[in-house]
Amino acid sequence: MKRVAVCGAGGRMGRSLIQAIQHETGITLGAALEYPGSLLLGQDAGELAGVGRLGVSVLGDLSSVLPGIDLVVDFSLPEPTLQHARLSAAQGKPMVIGTTGFTSEQFRELGALSEQIPMVISGNYSVGITICLDLIERATRAFGQSVDIEIMEAHHRHKVDAPSGTALMLGEAVALAQGRDLTTALVHGRQGHTGERPQGQIGMHSLRGGDVVGDHQVWFMGEGERLEIRHVASSRMNFAQGALRAALWVGDQPPGHYTMRQVLGLTL
């Protein structure tokens, strides 16, 4: 039985993870973490997640519980996640990271730390999104330069980063299939007199409002036809279940940076 520490236990995904753990064999909640000074510290993690008392109190210091757990699942914020990754690497604990919004420098540090421990890092742990990535790469290669590609994502009003980590993953899938660098091809929205759309541009648009869990669309727009690949999440539970699938997988891997596609055995 693998004992997992959930970082960001008080957030939407943290609570969903704690709920999902109760229905997953081979894994149990060993620790629940929130940021130091959080009003949630000391609460029972099970009661916080709405599954009843589990006897696991929410703590503010990962280092105090690391010796007694087998792996870390982190859905918190970039800087705390980096600190948790440093601690986990020092003690040889595998990680599953779902935090988004990392800077390029922070992501490079995660990559360096993954040389010491196995890490699954993904902006989205949905099996459906992972399959979408495969379909998007296939469609991009098949269409070639005959279509214009636009990406649209929508999330709840409380999401703090835009575009979403998942939308960037979709953009990377397009750019990879085109053999291009996403940073040079990407355009975030449009305003004013933009001129004619240049060939090869990848448009990305973010909507925020209400309680939208996640809606991602990729449009392949050609002359006389349009293909849309869309994924709609109606519950965070699918993300939580995918993250636990990654957690059960990553402990058997050598050090390295892994993605959800590798967890599912899909060809990269």
Catalytic residues: 155, 159
Amino acid 77 reads L
Please confirm whether the linkage preceding 94 is cis (ω < 30° from 0).
Answer: no
Rounded (to 5) percent helix, strand, coil in the chain: 35, 25, 40
CA dihedral 139, 145, 146, 148 (to 10 degrees): 80
* Of 223, 217, 202, nearest in space to 146 by CA: 223
- The Cα-based distances of 176 to 133, 137, 182, 220 in angstroms read 11, 8, 8, 16
Burial class of residue 83 (count of CB atoms within 10 Å of its CB; 0-12, 13-18, 19+)? middle
Contacts for 169 with CB less than 8 Å, ≥ 6 apart: 122, 123, 124, 129, 133
Contacts for 134 with CB less than 8 Å, ≥ 6 apart: 261, 266, 267
- The Cα-based distances of 92 to 22, 73, 170, 237 in angstroms read 25, 14, 31, 28
**What is the spatial distance between Cα 109 and Cα 148, in angstroms, rounded to a whole number?**
34
- The Cα-based distances of 59 to 20, 30, 97 in angstroms read 20, 11, 19
Tokens of 49: 């997640």
